[in-house]
Structure 1
């Protein structure tokens, strides 16, 4: 029978446990617990308690069977262990601390187990690499070593880390099969590739750890820098014959009349002539020749209702809608228009998220604020008050408007959120 089993059969005297739980011994047990957990639960070494008060001196004196008179006590853990065994408690220091709770943790053993788990993860990765077509790729070993040094994988739970690194090896092996292997598709859809190697179409979605590891491998294989930003990541995927999802996200446009000669540009011009809005995907933007006359003024709004109203009233000015966020497809279109020497004019909601989005667009493109100054806000606030429009209060932390230092103080003072629809008639006037 083990010591723990004997202790369980013979619980300590309740009065003895009640004494050990006295407040005057709390610091002793805390310090002893910390030391034991570092020592592999062995009662070795000493602990020192300083600035003892009268209650602590009294309780420690009774426990140790020696009179303590000063403000400091040095206690050898082997002596404390022996004292507890010989007392009415009838068990050693580790068992006593476990009885007082919470359970002890062998931190040394836990560290050893964690190190062993990490070693197994890297052994799994090395075995998978060696068994794959990557073993013949000169960059593959360096890729695995960079991941090891980076530490990102080590911060995952071992089972998760082992799964992710194995899937990364499998994915890269599919993309770089070497010679003498079964033919693979000339081009993979990213979702198709993810399903093949992870079982989930979303396994390689942007922002996942797996996609970052695979992209790092592709970058090393192609001898390029790791990509910064979504457009660069998509471009890197394409160098490995992987097509990212470029059709699910769209940007809402109206009135675009590019001068290109393909059917795509002609279709946009025809839709503009018929006052029809158009949703463009990233895939379409890559194929379009968005050549428009230099210095064309392109208005940018935040809410789709502005586009709808412009179409209903037959306005002619080109209009782009962010739909409340500067997504990749939105920024791709605006980047293209800015590169074509268009002049962008931006309007959005007068609330703090709207100001944040406006800051981003105006700063990135040196866009003109379109009815987005303090005077515009104050006019709209007064007009809604005059019309008896229910007021919506601002929420969240104030955001400084980079283009007008008077706007944020005016919004803070009036504390009213005004969405784009409040200025719809004025915006439509500007759209011609």
Structure 2
């Protein structure tokens, strides 16, 4: 390694073979890490410990000085100069690039990222100051909370800039500073989203933009940030924004409220004619649901149960979760609970079904409706006797809060049973 070599072109085979010998692997790894932290500048020192004999030999040849102990301290400027004066003929950074993979200037990346973040907030501040939000004291705090919270930092610069700009424009639309920018008395959320983002889905529940705007509305009204869907809908309404309350429905049957409004009368008429009813959130916000105290409402998971109950003119009140307890389902059940109703719940005998049953039974102190271990065993045995094809029980087990024997029984059998397997038994109970 003492003869000088050309500074340009690829390394010759002999030099490359020397540099890639196993005894130098740790040196190059440590040097690469140090250079990438140092902005690719050969500064500082490295300390290699627990050197074995091949490593000591290779280092001695490379550095042109004896390395005899288990530890070697190597200055990066010295290593850089040695490589330039040797057959390698190039500095440390160029040598590591030749050995591969390419070096990454991590300091430059950090600086660039910091510069991009600063540009995001500079753009956001300029945008805020150009809108009506500049006259609202809470808006400055909102923007500062976003900066400190790190939510946008985790996004790419382009996405972060787009989202915060759209959030500012949306809030400025909701909170004008004077009458020179007339706004409707209320907005539909899709209409507002189209106005400020170009997409009717820009403010959909769960979207990042929606969360940012709701934080602004909460600050403007000095209230807590909502933690569930009903609270988010309520907060939208405080800013005269109407969420979509008509597309999601809850399937009902046999509800007979005691009031005299046209809505309650219509429900009774449909129940008397054995017709199912889909109720929207919009209806539930204004619908009185005064049922006789102690009315027992059966709750099922699958719409087929409601269909069969209607076909056979059953009379018991029935509410269907349609596979999941969405906001509209819970809103109805909350209203029925407030009127003094009690509940009985039945769902699928699979792990998602047990999880949903836990949620309903625990929230409303509902009775399990043919949902205990003996009920499962009876249905499983019946499917075997009828040679019904079996659905395997898959996924992680879920303990049934109302019956500690149910989950082990299901695991032992390994059969998943949908609610329709118990349809005849459920119809018996519905009267």
Provide the TM-score with structure 2 as the length reference.
0.97
Is residue 376 of structure 2 the alignment partner of residue 372 of structure 1? no
Q: How does 1:279-318 map onto structure 2 within 5 Å? A: 279-318=278-317
The Cα shift of 1:259 comes to 1.8
* Equivalent residue, structure 2, for 1:363: 362
Is residue 43 of structure 2 the alignment partner of residue 44 of structure 1? yes
| Counterpart-to-counterpart distance in 2, 1:84 and 1:144 | 52
| Counterpart-to-counterpart distance in 1, 2:233 and 2:287 | 18
The Cα shift of 1:32 comes to 0.5
The Cα shift of 1:20 comes to 1.2
Higher mean C-alpha displacement, 157-166 vs 178-187? 178-187
| Counterpart-to-counterpart distance in 1, 2:141 and 2:74 | 52
* Equivalent residue, structure 1, for 2:59: 60
The Cα shift of 1:385 comes to 1.0
Q: C-alpha offsets along residues 153-185 of structure 1, whole Å, 9 cap, x if unaligned? A: 112111111111111100000000111322111
| Counterpart-to-counterpart distance in 1, 2:21 and 2:280 | 71
* Equivalent residue, structure 2, for 1:85: 84
| Counterpart-to-counterpart distance in 2, 1:51 and 1:143 | 54
* Equivalent residue, structure 2, for 1:171: 170
Q: How does 1:189-204 map onto structure 2 within 5 Å? A: 189-204=188-203
* Equivalent residue, structure 1, for 2:3: none
> What's the secondary structure of 1:237's corresponding residue?
helix
Q: How does 1:326-345 map onto structure 2 within 5 Å? A: 326-345=325-344
The Cα shift of 1:120 comes to 0.8
> What's the secondary structure of 1:154's corresponding residue?
coil
Q: How does 1:114-129 map onto structure 2 within 5 Å? A: 114-129=113-128
| Counterpart-to-counterpart distance in 2, 1:325 and 1:32 | 56
> What's the secondary structure of 1:63's corresponding residue?
helix
> What's the secondary structure of 1:344's corresponding residue?
strand
| Counterpart-to-counterpart distance in 2, 1:342 and 1:306 | 20
> What's the secondary structure of 1:48's corresponding residue?
strand
| Counterpart-to-counterpart distance in 1, 2:401 and 2:168 | 46
* Equivalent residue, structure 2, for 1:3: none
| Counterpart-to-counterpart distance in 2, 1:72 and 1:262 | 90
> What's the secondary structure of 1:409's corresponding residue?
helix
| Counterpart-to-counterpart distance in 1, 2:79 and 2:384 | 78
| Counterpart-to-counterpart distance in 2, 1:300 and 1:347 | 6
* Equivalent residue, structure 2, for 1:130: 129
> What's the secondary structure of 2:153's corresponding residue?
helix
Contact 1:132 1:170 in 2 (8 A): yes
The Cα shift of 1:186 comes to 1.0
| Counterpart-to-counterpart distance in 2, 1:15 and 1:333 | 80
Higher mean C-alpha displacement, 166-175 vs 154-163? 154-163
Q: C-alpha offsets along residues 205-239 of structure 1, whole Å, 9 cap, x if unaligned? A: 11111111111111111111111211011001001
Is residue 402 of structure 2 the alignment partner of residue 409 of structure 1? no
* Equivalent residue, structure 2, for 1:226: 225
> What's the secondary structure of 1:155's corresponding residue?
coil
Contact 2:10 2:98 in 1 (8 A): no
Aligned residue pairs, count: 426
* Equivalent residue, structure 2, for 1:323: 322
Contact 1:81 1:92 in 2 (8 A): yes
* Equivalent residue, structure 2, for 1:188: 187
Unaligned runs of 5+ in 1: 1-5
Q: How does 1:346-357 map onto structure 2 within 5 Å? A: 346-357=345-356
The Cα shift of 1:54 comes to 2.1
Q: C-alpha offsets along residues 91-131 of structure 1, whole Å, 9 cap, x if unaligned? A: 10011111111111111111111111111111111101100
The Cα shift of 1:412 comes to 0.9
Q: In angstroms, what is the RMSD of aligned CA positions?
A: 1.2
The Cα shift of 1:254 comes to 0.7
| Counterpart-to-counterpart distance in 2, 1:207 and 1:64 | 60
> What's the secondary structure of 2:96's corresponding residue?
helix
Unaligned runs of 5+ in 2: 1-5
Contact 1:13 1:88 in 2 (8 A): no
> What's the secondary structure of 2:47's corresponding residue?
strand
| Counterpart-to-counterpart distance in 2, 1:134 and 1:182 | 13
> What's the secondary structure of 1:359's corresponding residue?
helix
Provide the TM-score with structure 1 as the length reference.
0.97
Q: How does 1:138-153 map onto structure 2 within 5 Å? A: 138-153=137-152
> What's the secondary structure of 2:251's corresponding residue?
strand
Q: C-alpha offsets along residues 316-348 of structure 1, whole Å, 9 cap, x if unaligned? A: 101111111111111111111111111010000
The Cα shift of 1:293 comes to 0.6
The Cα shift of 1:22 comes to 1.7
Contact 1:359 1:402 in 2 (8 A): yes
